């Protein structure tokens, strides 16, 4: 136990150092695992269990947010299928070429073993991509939804392979799993009865782990069970709340997953050399994604960002190779080489995804010829009409701001959100809301709007990085109106003000102030102590957040 605590402490310091360098903490966790293995440490049962729990909760939370209808988009199922086929063919050719020139690790491999390795290399990492998207606050963006949809199609293919390759066909009892969908109303009722505290978290853990165990009992990969249990709750009003409640647990357990990769085996010079030889296949995978997406009428930005996020190797590839080692199809040294290549792909992909928007802006003029003239519905030109105020992010805060501004300015207020379902729900409530993203440079090209008439832009997106990027984008476009944004911490307010925001508001402080104002208005009336306090605050200049022209 003490060694595990020390491992987690070192992982924390490494993650802290990675973040200071502008990289995701997971890069620090990976390097920690390799360093600890070189120092004599090995994967402990506790870290192994944390790893399994992390992946299980990850797939459960993906299921909570998944809409099966989205997988029917050709931009998802067609890209996933065509990419996997093309990647396997190219990988087989590349590995066969390495075997032909005498690389020892590949020279003795049969064509079937090479095909197995190529299959493993064709996957992209669900854990890495979802983690990066969540950190950037872009899980619900179009490119994020397309990337996650492609990953789910790949994961289903991996689960089918695992079910067939381990020699355990699903038992006859597996047919009974369809009854889970008949239990959906009951399970959703349990979620409603669980409230908003520890019972809700406990139910989520029970469903994720119980679903995984149930599928294992009938010889089906448990991770698929966690995904299915999440699907049973998808679309419920409290599903997103449950996902937020489990976020901390999932992130904590995934530390074990990233550590386990580095602690998976010894690093030899040959394994490192082979990993480096496999690494050039990663940009080839990214290029394939890009070409397929642009051919299927996705815009340049969507294609570039999705391709960058998917340019890596996958933990499912390690699982596939582990099965190959257990069955005697490939050697254990191949598994170690793939683990190193996987880690290197993460280390290289992390900064690329951090700089994704800058990379897109740099490549946009050169790659614009790859765009097709036709667009899918979500990427066509936008004609919102006359607008004076724009609210980006139509969650609870954005919706409240929209309603308050509409009382003052009528139908000149426009809401914008990246989630199609949110937009549809807002429109059902007769709010003027369109689909789009303030962080999308092409959004400003697509929207047909007189920006000289826009007086105010409210950035109410939940992720501060999105608000920061949007503020910089507006400034770069020469927008001359006022910008206001929300934040959660004082340092975020400072960053927003430095980015050109005229007024940044602490979300929690403003909620408290709004609560006090509401109490004064409803319970104490316009006069009395509330009026006296307000006058005193005005005189002392305590009301500092202002949208006055002088700012």
Q: What would the pLDDT profile of 231-280 be if each residue is shown by its tens digit?
A: 899 888 888 889 888 988 888 888 888 888 778 777 788 888 999 999 99
Highest average pLDDT, of 193-207, 372-386, 446-460, 461-475, comes from: 193-207
Each residue of 363-389: b (16+ CB within 10 Å) or e?
Answer: eeeebeeebeeeeeebbeebebeebbb
**What are φ and ψ of residue 548, in 5° steps?**
-70, 155
Q: Which of 241-255, 465-479, 503-517 has the lowest mean pLDDT?
A: 503-517
Question: CA angle 140-142-145, nearest 5°?
Answer: 60
Residue ranges, CATH 1.20.1530.20, the chain: 2-370
Determine the 3-state secondary structure of 456 from DSSP.
strand
Whole-model pTM above 0.85? no
Q: Stretch 353-381: mean pLDDT, rounded?
A: 85
CATH 3.40.50.2300 fits 383-540, yes or no: no
- Angstrom distance (rounded) from CA 245 to CA 239: 10
Express each pLDDT in 428-437 by its tens digit. 999 999 988 7
pLDDT score of 201? 93
Express each pLDDT in 180-191 by its tens digit. 989 999 999 999
Express each pLDDT in 151-173 by its tens digit. 988 877 876 776 666 566 778 88
pLDDT at 540 over 50: no
Express each pLDDT in 102-115 by its tens digit. 888 898 889 989 99
In the structure, what pLDDT confidence band is assigned to residue 526 with cuts at 50, 70 and 90?
Answer: low
Do the bridges between strand 456-459 and strand 433-435 make them parallel or antiparallel, or are there none, so unpaired?
unpaired
**What are φ and ψ of residue 97, in 5° steps?**
-65, -40
> What are the structure tokens assigned to 452, written together?
């000289």
Residue ranges, CATH 3.40.50.720, the chain: 383-540
Contact in structure between 142 and 70 (CB atoms under 8 Å): no
Residue 274 burial class via C-beta count within 10 angstroms: exposed 0-12, middle 13-18, buried 19 and up: buried
Q: In what order do the strands lie in the sheet with 413-417?
A: 433-435, 413-417, 389-392, 456-459, 482-487, 503-506
Other Cβ atoms within 10 Å of 73 Cβ, number: 18
Q: Stretch 68-76: mean pLDDT, rounded?
A: 82
- Angstrom distance (rounded) from CA 422 to CA 411: 19
pLDDT at 71 over 50: yes
Q: Which of 95-99, 107-111, 221-225 has the lowest mean pLDDT?
A: 221-225
Other Cβ atoms within 10 Å of 520 Cβ, number: 18
In the structure, what pLDDT confidence band is assigned to residue 548 with cuts at 50, 70 and 90?
Answer: very low
Report the top-level CATH class of 2-370: mainly alpha
Is residue 536 within a helix (H) or strand (E), and if so which, with residue range?
A: helix 528-540
- Angstrom distance (rounded) from CA 326 to CA 123: 20
Higher pLDDT, 86 or 130: 86
Question: CA angle 367-368-369, nearest 5°?
Answer: 90
- Angstrom distance (rounded) from CA 4 to CA 33: 12
Under 8 Å CB-to-CB from 489, ≥6 apart: which residues? 506
In the structure, what pLDDT confidence band is assigned to residue 539 with cuts at 50, 70 and 90?
Answer: very low
- Angstrom distance (rounded) from CA 130 to CA 151: 10
Considering the chain, what is the average pLDDT of its residues? 84
Under 8 Å CB-to-CB from 413, ≥6 apart: which residues? 387, 388, 389, 390, 391, 402, 405, 406, 432
pLDDT score of 97? 92
Q: Which of 38-42, 329-333, 340-344, 441-445 has the lowest mean pLDDT?
A: 441-445
- Angstrom distance (rounded) from CA 56 to CA 205: 10
């Amino acid at each position: 136990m003490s060694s595990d605590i020390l491992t987690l402490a070192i992982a924390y310091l490494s993650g802290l150092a990675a973040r200071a360098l502008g990289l995701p903490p997971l890069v620090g966790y990976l390097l920690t695992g390799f360093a600890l293995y070189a120092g004599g440490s090995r994967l402990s049962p506790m870290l192994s269990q944390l790893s399994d729990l992390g992946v299980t909760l990850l797939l459960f939370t993906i299921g909570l947010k998944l809409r099966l209808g989205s997988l029917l988009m050709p931009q998802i199922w067609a890209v996933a299928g065509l990419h996997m086929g093309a990647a396997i063919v190219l990988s087989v050719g590349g590995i066969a070429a390495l075997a032909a020139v005498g690389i020892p690790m590949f020279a003795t491999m049969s064509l079937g073993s090479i095909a197995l390795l190529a299959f493993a290399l064709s996957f992209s990492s669900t854990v890495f991509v979802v983690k990066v998207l969540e950190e950037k606050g872009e899980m619900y963006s179009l490119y994020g939804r397309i990337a996650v949809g492609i990953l789910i199609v790949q994961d289903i293919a991996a689960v089918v392979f695992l079910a067939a390759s381990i020699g355990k066909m699903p038992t006859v009892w597996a047919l009974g799993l369809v009854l889970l969908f008949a239990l959906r109303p009951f399970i959703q009722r349990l979620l409603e009865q669980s409230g908003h505290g520890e019972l809700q978290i406990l139910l989520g853990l029970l469903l994720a782990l119980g679903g995984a165990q149930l599928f294992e009992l009938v010889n089906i990969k448990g991770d698929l069970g966690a995904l299915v249990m999440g699907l049973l709750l998808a679309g419920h009003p409290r599903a997103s709340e449950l996902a937020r409640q489990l976020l901390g647990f999932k992130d904590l357990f995934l530390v074990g997953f990233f550590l386990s990769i580095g602690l998976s085996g010894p690093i030899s010079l040959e394994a490192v050399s082979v990993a480096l030889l496999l690494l050039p296949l990663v940009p080839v995978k990214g290029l394939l994604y890009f070409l397929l997406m642009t051919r299927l009428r996705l815009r340049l930005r969507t294609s570039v960002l999705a391709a960058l996020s998917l340019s890596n190797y996958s933990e499912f590839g390690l699982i596939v190779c582990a099965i190959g080692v257990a069955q005697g199809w490939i050697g254990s040294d191949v598994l170690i080489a793939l683990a190193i290549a996987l880690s290197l792909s993460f280390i290289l992909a992390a900064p690329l995804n951090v700089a994704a928007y800058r990379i897109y802006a740099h490549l946009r003029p050169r790659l614009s010829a790859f765009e097709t003239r036709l667009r899918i519905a979500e990427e066509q030109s936008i004609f919102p009409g006359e607008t004076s105020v724009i609210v980006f992010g139509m969650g609870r805060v954005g919706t409240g701001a929209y309603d308050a501004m509409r009382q003052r300015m009528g139908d000149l207020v426009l809401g914008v959100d990246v989630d199609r379902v949110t937009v549809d729900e807002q429109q059902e409530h007769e709010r003027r809301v369109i689909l789009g993203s303030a962080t999308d440079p092409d959004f400003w090209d697509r929207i047909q709007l007189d920006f000289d008439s826009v007086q105010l832009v409210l950035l109410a997106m939940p992720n501060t990085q999105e608000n920061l990027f949007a503020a910089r984008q507006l400034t770069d476009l020469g927008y001359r109106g006022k910008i206001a944004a929300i934040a959660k911490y004082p340092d975020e307010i400072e960053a927003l003000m430095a980015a050109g925001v005229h007024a940044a508001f602490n979300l929690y402080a403003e909620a408290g102030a709004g609560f006090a104002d509401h109490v004064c208005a409803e319970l104490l009336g316009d006069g009395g102590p509330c009026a006296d306090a307000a006058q005193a605050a005005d005189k002392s200049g305590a009301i500092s957040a202002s949208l006055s022209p002088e700012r």
